[in-house]
Amino acid sequence: MADIFIVDDDIMLQQMLVRQLQSSGHRTDCASTLTEGLQQVLSGKYDIVLLDVQLPDGNGLEYIPRFKNASSSPEVIIITGKGDKDGAEKAIVSGAWGYIEKPHVLKELVLHIARVEQYQKEKNRAEKIPLVLKRDAIIGNSPQLTKCLDRVAEAALSDASVLITGETGTGKELFARAIHENSRRADHNFVTVDCASLPENLIESTLFGYVKGSFTGAENNREGLVQLANGGTLFLDEVGELPLNVQKTFLRVLQEHSYRPIGSTHEKKSDFRVIAATNIDIESSINNGSFRNDLLYRLRALSCALPPLRDRKEDIKPLIRYFLARMWDRSKLDYQGISPDFIEHLTAYDWPGNVRELQQTLERVVASTVRTPTLFAYHLPEHFRIQQAQAAIHTSPPHHSSPEVSQTPEELIPLPWSEYKNNYERQYIYDLMRHTNGNITVACQISHLSRARLYQLREKHGLLDPS
């Protein structure tokens, strides 16, 4: 039996649906507005959402992706008082399971729900089978990142278009490549179109190519990026920057998978899968007239919203280790130690530039510490250390001006040097062995300790393997 949520402002229809569904053993909840319905679905565990189109606070079709992005991944069935072909297309392209007119809702709903239940059971069984996912350079295991990787696995199984959203630096191209590399198209080209950097007068010739003599300077035939993506994936990076006139042309290309090179009288075909990415709010762009509604529906058959790094801070430490190891190997440098305060400062930072900013920060640190055995917070750019120092001021207890009346808490009294050094030494050896996965040779290279000395320190601090 399913957990079903009904979003409809027709109270009589609500009550009728509740009676029918509960008599079949289903559990139901209701709301009369999109705002209330979305809030409850996002905080609950529902299998199916029955969604009206015309509601007091908006159009239900616009909210389909938001409902589907709930943690329980419910299927959405549209129920409408008056159906139309454009509305049906929009619903399906946006990811709806079905589209039912209200006069037929009682008759058709039972069959739709039965099919959804069967589909979800089969999907749950399939998800229990381990899936080996190629995820090069996508580092971390936070719940937020894992959910995005589930989206990658889902998208890789089909040719449906995908819209990836997220702030600058969250890794949208990495995820687009992961979808491509795990799909049946992996052996063909992954072609990137940087929509933000292409001059408007060159966009069409870059995308669709041209024939010799079609304009001044066209001395030879040239294939466009759409043809290069034949059999593979066309990645539209920063798709929100496409000019309106190009959006109209590209919409037809997406629909027909055919195009005409500039100056040609013949149509050409290209079998490509499209993945698009943007860091702007496309819905706002539609409202202000700078992006086409119908193009969004074509691009967003599937969607993947990447979280900012500040929302998955548990991934920062593995990202630091990954980037540093790659930089050391690439530059043929000795591995350096990493002090706890170095990690703490980087983890406390909010990273407005996300993973890209973290990588660039570490590149700067490595370049300036080539002869330094261990990385400390001191080696970070000044703005990190200033932020941490200011935060410490706000959280520290007030200091008295007179040392005679100072009442320093006992736990803030410094440890004896020998005890502090001993604690720090143990933490260093522990971090060293974890970082090298117990590889003694690599650990000695990083620490500049001899094998004998490293063994002594591990024995001293109880860090030898039981074997």
pLDDT for 410 equals 44
Q: pLDDT tier at 445 (50, 70, 90 boundaries)? A: confident
Question: Do the bridges between strand 58-59 and strand 54-55 make them parallel or antiparallel, or are there none, so unpaired?
Answer: antiparallel
pLDDT for 424 equals 72
- When pLDDT is averaged across residues 120-143 and rounded to a whole number, the result is 79
Interval 199-233: pLDDT, tens = 888 888 889 988 887 777 777 888 899 999 999 99
Interval 16-47: pLDDT, tens = 999 999 999 999 999 999 999 999 999 999 99
Residue 1 or residue 230, greater confidence: 230
Q: Which residues of 84-117 are buried (b: 16+ CB within 10 A; e: fewer)?
A: eeebbebbbbbbbbbbbebeebeebbeebbeebb
- The answer to whether the CB of 127 falls within 8 A of the CB of 153 is no
Q: pLDDT tier at 238 (50, 70, 90 boundaries)? A: very high
Would you kindly state where each structural domain of the chain is located, as residue ranges? Answer: 3-127, 143-307, 311-393+414-460
Residue 63 pLDDT more than 90? yes
Q: Tokens 């509604």: give the residue.
A: 293
Mean pLDDT of the chain, nearest integer: 87
- The answer to whether the CB of 79 falls within 8 A of the CB of 105 is yes
Q: Select from 114, 80, 78, 83 the least CA-distant residue to 97.
A: 78
Long-range contacts of 377-385 (CB under 8 A, 24+ apart): 377/339, 377/341, 377/342, 377/344, 377/345, 379/342, 380/342, 380/345, 380/346, 384/345, 384/346, 384/349, 385/345
pLDDT for 37 equals 95
pLDDT for 127 equals 63
> Which distant-in-sequence residues (6+ apart) come within 8 Å of 390 by Cβ?
none
Architecture in CATH for domain 143-307: 3-Layer(aba) Sandwich (3.40)
- When pLDDT is averaged across residues 153-180 and rounded to a whole number, the result is 95
Q: What percent of the chain has pLDDT over 90?
A: 52
Residue 165 pLDDT more than 90? yes
Interval 72-88: pLDDT, tens = 889 999 998 877 888 88
- When pLDDT is averaged across residues 302-316 and rounded to a whole number, the result is 94
Q: Which of 124-138, 257-271, 409-423 has the highest mean pLDDT?
A: 257-271
C-alpha 149/C-alpha 433 separation (Å) is 29
pLDDT for 405 equals 39
> Which distant-in-sequence residues (6+ apart) come within 8 Å of 204 by Cβ?
246, 249, 262
C-alpha 41/C-alpha 43 separation (Å) is 5
Give the CA count within 13 Å in the CB-facing half-sphere of 141. Answer: 1
Q: Say whether domain 3-127 belongs to CATH 3.40.50.2300.
A: yes
Residue 162 pLDDT more than 70? yes
Residue 440 or residue 467, greater confidence: 440
Interval 362-421: pLDDT, tens = 999 999 988 888 999 889 988 877 777 777 664 444 444 434 434 444 444 455 666 666
pLDDT for 310 equals 94
Interval 312-345: pLDDT, tens = 999 999 999 999 999 999 999 888 999 998 999 9
Residue 396 or residue 360, greater confidence: 360
Q: Examine domains 3-127 and 311-393+414-460 and report if their fold is the same.
A: no
> Which distant-in-sequence residues (6+ apart) come within 8 Å of 171 by Cβ?
138, 306, 354, 355, 356
- The answer to whether the CB of 331 falls within 8 A of the CB of 363 is no
Which CATH entry fits the domain spanning 311-393+414-460: 1.10.8.60, 3.30.420.10, 1.10.760.10, 2.170.120.40? 1.10.8.60
The residue type found at 291 is F
